[in-house]
Chains A and B, each alone.
Chain A
Amino acid sequence: MENLVLQALSGLASASSLFLVASGLTVIFGVSRVVNFAHGSLYMLGAYLAYSLVTTLPRGHLGFWGGVIGAAVLVGLIGLVVEVLLLRRIYRAPELFQLLATFGVVLIVQDLAQMIWGPQDLLGPRAPGLRGSIEIVGMRFPLYELFLIGVGPVVLGLLVLLFHRTRWGTLVRAATQDREMVGALGVNQRMLFTSVFFLGSLLAGLGGALQLPRESVNLHMDLAIITEAFVVVVVGGLGSLTGAALAALLIGELHAFGILIVPKITLVLVFLVMALVLVVRPHGLLGKPEAAARGGQGSAEPVIGPAPPALRWLGLATLAVAVVLPPFLGDYAVSVLTELAIAVLFAASLHLIMGPGGMASFGNAAYFGIGAYGAALAAQWLGAPMLAGLALAPLAAGVFGLLFGYFCVRLSGVYAAMLTLAFAQIAWSVAFQWVEVTGGDNGILGVWPSAWAAPKLVYYYLALALCLGATLFLRRVVHAPFGYALRAQRDSALRAEAIGIDAFRIRWLGFGLAAAAAGVAGGLFAYGKGSVFPTYMGIPRSVDALLMVLLGGVQTLSGPIVGALAFTGLQEQLVRITDLWRLILGCIIVLLVLFFPQGLAGAARARWEARHGDA
Chain B
Amino acid sequence: MATLEVAGLEKSFGGVRAVQGISFSVRPGEMLALIGPNGAGKSTCFNMLNGQLRPDAGSVRLLGREITGMAPRTIWRLGVGRTFQITATFGSMTVLENVQMALLSHHRRLGGLWRPVARMDAAPARALLERLGMAEQAARPCGILAYGDLKRVELAIALANQPKLLLMDEPTAGMAPQERVSLMALTAQIARESGIAVLFTEHDMDVVFGHADRILVLDRGRLIAEGAPAAVRADPKVREVYLGSGAVTGAH
28 contacting pairs across A/B (C-beta < 8 A) = A300-B92, A301-B143, A303-B93, A303-B141, A306-B118, A476-B114, A476-B116, A477-B114, A479-B116, A479-B117, A481-B111, A482-B110, A484-B97, A484-B100, A484-B110, A485-B105, A485-B110, A488-B90, A491-B89, A491-B91, A492-B88, A492-B91, A494-B88, A495-B84, A495-B90, A498-B76, A498-B84, A500-B76
For A466-499 the 0/1 string (1 means CB < 8 A from B) is: 0000000100110111101101101110111111
Contact partner of A481 (CB less than 8 A), chosen from B72, B109, B161, is: B109
In the assembled complex, B26 has its CB within 8 A of some CB on chain A: no
Check A480 against B112 for contact (C-beta < 8 Å): yes
**A480 and B115 alpha carbons, distance in the complex (Å):** 5
> Can you add 8 more A-B contacts, CB < 8 Å, to A477-B113, A481-B112?
A300-B92, A476-B114, A479-B116, A480-B112, A498-B73, A499-B102, A500-B76, A500-B77
The interface centre, meaning the residue of B106, B117, B120 with most chain A CB atoms within 10 A of its CB, is B117
Q: Shortest CB–CB separation between residue B78 and chain A, in angstroms?
A: 10
**Residues of chain A within 8 A of B161, CB atoms compared:** 499-500
Check A495 against B94 for contact (C-beta < 8 Å): no
Q: Shortest CB–CB separation between residue A164 and chain B, in angstroms?
A: 28
Q: Shortest CB–CB separation between residue A15 and chain B, in angstroms?
A: 38
Check A495 against B117 for contact (C-beta < 8 Å): no
**Residues of chain B within 8 A of A473, CB atoms compared:** 113
Q: Shortest CB–CB separation between residue B219 and chain A, in angstroms?
A: 28
In the assembled complex, B82 has its CB within 8 A of some CB on chain A: yes
Q: How large is the interface on B (under 10, 10 to 19, 20 to 34, 35 or more residues)?
A: 35 or more
Closest B residue to A297 using CB positions? B91
In the assembled complex, B234 has its CB within 8 A of some CB on chain A: no
For A288-320 the 0/1 string (1 means CB < 8 A from B) is: 000000001101111110100000000000000
Check A300 against B143 for contact (C-beta < 8 Å): yes
In the assembled complex, B160 has its CB within 8 A of some CB on chain A: yes
In the assembled complex, A609 has its CB within 8 A of some CB on chain B: no
Check A495 against B143 for contact (C-beta < 8 Å): no
Check A488 against B101 for contact (C-beta < 8 Å): yes
Check A501 against B143 for contact (C-beta < 8 Å): no
**Residues of chain A within 8 A of B110, CB atoms compared:** 481-482, 484-485, 501, 506
**A496 and B90 alpha carbons, distance in the complex (Å):** 8
**Residues of chain B within 8 A of A304, CB atoms compared:** 92
Check A497 against B90 for contact (C-beta < 8 Å): no
Q: How large is the interface on A (under 10, 10 to 19, 20 to 34, 35 or more residues)?
A: 20 to 34
Closest A residue to B107 using CB positions? A481
In the assembled complex, A615 has its CB within 8 A of some CB on chain B: yes
Q: Which 3 A-B pairs have the closest CB atoms?
A: A300-B143, A300-B91, A301-B92
The interface centre, meaning the residue of B82, B90, B139 with most chain A CB atoms within 10 A of its CB, is B90
Contact partner of A501 (CB less than 8 A), chosen from B73, B91, B115, B120, is: B73
Check B112 against A482 for contact (C-beta < 8 Å): yes
**Residues of chain A within 8 A of B73, CB atoms compared:** 497-502
Instruction: Please provide the chain A residues from 492 to 518 with a CB less than 8 Å away from any CB of chain B in the complex.
Output: 492, 494-502, 506
**Residues of chain B within 8 A of A302, CB atoms compared:** 92, 141
Closest A residue to B141 using CB positions? A303
Check B105 against A500 for contact (C-beta < 8 Å): yes
Check B76 against A484 for contact (C-beta < 8 Å): no
